[in-house]
């Protein structure tokens, strides 16, 4: 199957414009699964929770309905980061949408910096969704720094981690190579570009293989859509040598909790 990231430059507060951009990319892409950045409809660096609450939407909502329409027409899947409103509660979430509609959502477990002033910590746990040809796990941005996040998804059977992000620290792209190796799993990190206030986003969206190969990587400064062909069977072979399996060789009785 073909998987892709869309590295975009969301316009701050311009939900309709940002949604139209994602729909256009989705329609043109040849990928079976395409991953968009974290908070790709709203922008990111909000000073006011009130302002963010006004432009966030429930799940399902307008965006998931419009994404579903294109996914149905094109027979493809999408993962995108959204600011989710539930009553007056806000969550930094990711949705998985396909030809038959909303498949599931994930609420970010590990909030970064000022996100703690805007969002509640995620309560969904780490989730894996079986699309038939591939099993997709979801995590968001700063989840990358906690190896337990990717490991949990691997233990739950994910072949690929879809990873919407708004990265500002310089470490993630390298760390996700390690996450791929230690779990023998594909990762698709969809980062954004541009600047909002004091934050400059690092771009360099990437797709990595179970062997830690960089299959595709974007630039730091340009909007880009890159796609590659993957074989999920490679992610189901957890052997490093004939005698070593990265999951079966674990000895959790000796690990500190």
* Residues with catalytic roles: 38, 108, 141
In this structure, the strands spanning 206-208 and 244-245 are: unpaired
Q: How far is CA 15 from CA 66, 101, 115, 174, 236, in A?
A: 13, 20, 19, 31, 38
Instruction: Tell me the chain's radius of gyration from C-alpha atoms.
Output: 17
Q: State both tokens at 122.
A: 């995620």
Please give the Cα distance from 165 to 172 (Å, whole number).
10
Cis, bond preceding 247 (omega within 30 deg of 0): no
In this structure, the strands spanning 101-107 and 89-98 are: antiparallel
SS3 state at 219: coil
Q: How far is CA 98 from CA 7, 77, 95, 222, in A?
A: 20, 4, 10, 27
């Amino acid at each position: 199957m073909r998987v892709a990231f869309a590295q975009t430059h969301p316009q701050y507060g311009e939900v309709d414009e940002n949604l139209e951009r994602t729909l256009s990319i989705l329609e043109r892409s040849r990928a079976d699964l395409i991953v968009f950045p974290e908070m790709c409809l709203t922008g990111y660096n909000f000073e006011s929770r009130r302002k963010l609450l006004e432009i966030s939407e429930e799940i399902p909502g307008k965006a998931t309905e419009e994404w579903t329409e294109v996914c149905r027409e094109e027979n493809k899947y999408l993962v995108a980061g959204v600011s989710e409103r539930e009553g007056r509660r806000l969550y930094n979430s990711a949705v998985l949408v396909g030809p038959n509609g909303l498949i599931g959502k994930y609420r970010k477990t590990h909030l970064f910096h000022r996100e703690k002033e805007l969002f509640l910590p995620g309560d969904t746990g780490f989730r894996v969704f079986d699309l038939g040809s591939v099993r997709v796990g979801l995590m968001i941005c700063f989840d990358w720094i906690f190896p337990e996040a990717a490991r949990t998804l691997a233990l739950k059977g994910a072949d690929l981690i879809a990873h919407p992000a708004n990265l500002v620290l310089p470490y993630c792209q390298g760390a996700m190579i390690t996450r791929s190796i230690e779990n023998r799993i594909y990762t698709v990190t969809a980062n954004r570009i541009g600047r909002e206030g004091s934050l400059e986003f690092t771009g360099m969206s990437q797709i990595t293989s179970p062997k830690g190969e960089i299959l595709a990587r974007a630039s730091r400064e340009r909007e880009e859509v890159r796609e590659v062909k993957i074989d999920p069977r490679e992610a189901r072979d957890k052997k490093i040598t004939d005698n070593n399996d990265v999951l079966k060789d674990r000895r959790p009785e000796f690990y500190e909790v």
